[in-house]
Homo-oligomer: A and B are copies of this chain.
Amino acid sequence: MLIYEKGSSGRNASAQIPTSSGASSAALVSIPAEYLRTDAPLLPEVSELQVVRHFTNLSRKNFSIDGEFYPLGSCTMKYNPRGAHKAASIPGFLNRHPLAPERHSQGFMQCLYDLQEYLKDLTGMQAVSLTPMAGAQGEFAGVAMIRAYHMERGDHERTEILIPIAAHGTNPATAVMCGYKVKEVGISDSGDVDLDDLKAAVGPATAGLMMTNPSTLGVFERQIKEIASTVHDAGGLLYYDGANLNAILGKVKPGDMGFDVLHMNLHKTFATPHGGGGPGSGPVGVSKRLEPYLPTPIVGRQIVAGKEEFRWLDDDDIPRTIGHLSAFMGNAGILLRAYAYASLLGKEGMQRVGEYATLNANYMARRLADAGFELAYPDRRAAHEFIVTLSEQTKKLGVTAMDFAKRLLDYGYHAPTTYFPLLVPECLLIEPTETETIDEIDGFVDAMKAILEEAETNPSLVTNAPTTMPVKRLDDVKAARELDLAWRPGE
* In the complex with contacts A15-B81, A81-B15, A437-B47 CB distance below 8 A: yes
Q: Of residues 51 to 97 in A, which have CB atoms within 8 Å of B's CB atoms?
A: 52-53, 56-57, 60, 65-68, 78-79, 81-83
Q: Once the chains bind, are A50 and B81 in contact (CB under 8 Å)?
A: no
Q: Is A458 on the interface with B (CB-CB < 8 A)?
A: no
A48 at the interface (CB under 8 A from B): yes
Whether, in the assembled complex, A8 has its beta carbon less than 8 Å from a beta carbon of chain B, the answer is: yes
Report the nearest B residue to A50, measured CB to CB.
B437
A435 CB contacts on chain B under 8 angstroms: 47, 49
A439 at interface, CB cutoff 8 A? yes
A11 to B83 Cα, complex, angstroms: 19
Name the residue of chain B whose CB is nearest to the CB of A433: B49
Which residues of A168-186 have CB atoms within 8 Å of chain B's CB atoms? none
For the complex formed, measure the closest distance between the CB of A30 and the CB atoms of chain B, giving whole angstroms: 31
Q: Is A192 an interface residue (CB 8 A)?
A: no
Q: Does A436 contact B (CB under 8 A)?
A: yes
- Also in contact, A81 and B48, with CB within 8 A (given A60-B60, A67-B53, A67-B56): yes
Partner of A436, one of B6, B8, B49: B49
Q: Using Cβ atoms and an 8 Å threshold, which residues of chain B touch A78?
A: 49
Q: Is the CB of B66 within 8 A of A56?
A: yes
* Assembled-state Cα–Cα distance A436/B47 (Å): 9
- How far, in Å, is A5 (CB) from chain B's closest CB? 10
Least distance between A270 CB and chain B CB atoms (Å): 15
Write the nearest CB–CB distance from A281 to chain B, whole angstroms: 21
Most B Cβ at <10 Å: residue of A49, A83, A435: A49
Contacts of A436 in B (CB 8 A): 49
Q: Considering only CB atoms and an 8 Å cut-off, how many residues of chain A contact the other chain?
A: 28
User: Is B52 a contact partner of A82 (Cβ separation < 8 A)?
Assistant: yes
Contact A49:B65 (CB < 8 A) given known A6-B439, A83-B15, A344-B15: yes
Q: Which residues of chain B are near A437, meaning CB under 8 Å?
A: 6, 8, 11, 47, 50
Give Cα A436 to B11, complex, Å. Answer: 12
Cα distance, A309 to B149, chains bound together (Å):
69
The answer to whether A49 touches B439, judged by C-beta atoms less than 8 angstroms apart, is no
List which A394-449 residues lie within 8 A (CB) of chain B.
435-439
- B67 close to A79 (CB less than 8 A): no
Residue of B nearest to A8 (CB): B437
Asked whether B67 lies within 8 Å of A57 as measured between CB atoms, the reply is yes
- As a 0/1 sequence over residues 289 to 309 of chain A, the CB contacts with chain B under 8 angstroms (1 = contact) are 000000000000000000000
Out of B8, B47, B66, which one reaches A52, CB within 8 Å? B66
Closest chain-B Cβ to A24's Cβ sits at a distance in Å of 21
Cα–Cα distance between A83 and B51 once the two chains are bound (Å): 14
Chain B residues within an 8 Å CB radius of A50: 437
A79 CA to B48 CA, complexed, in Å: 8
Question: Nearest chain-B residue to A90 (Cβ)?
Answer: B91
* Bitwise interface map of A from 28 to 59 toward B, beta carbon under 8 Å scored 1, else 0: 00000000000000000001111011001100
Residues of B within 8 A of A65 (CB): 49, 53
Residues B66 and A79 in contact, CB atoms below 8 Å apart: no
Query: In angstroms, how far is the closest chain B Cβ from the Cβ of A85?
Result: 11
Kindly list chain B residues whose C-beta atoms are within 8 Å of the C-beta of A56. 66-67
Most buried by B among A53, A435, A439: A53
Q: Could you give, for residues 364-397 of chain A, a 1 whenever the CB lies within 8 Å of some chain B CB and a 0 otherwise?
A: 0000000000000000000000000000000000
Chain B residues with Cβ below 8 Å from A11 are 437
Q: Can you offer 30 A-B residue contacts whose CB atoms are under 8 A?
A: A6-B437, A6-B439, A8-B437, A8-B438, A8-B439, A11-B437, A15-B81, A15-B83, A47-B79, A47-B435, A47-B437, A48-B79, A48-B81, A48-B82, A49-B65, A49-B78, A49-B79, A49-B435, A49-B436, A50-B437, A52-B66, A52-B79, A52-B82, A53-B65, A53-B66, A53-B68, A56-B66, A56-B67, A57-B67, A60-B67
Q: Which 7 pairs from chain A and chain B are nearest by CB?
A: A49-B79, A56-B66, A49-B435, A15-B344, A56-B67, A52-B66, A53-B66
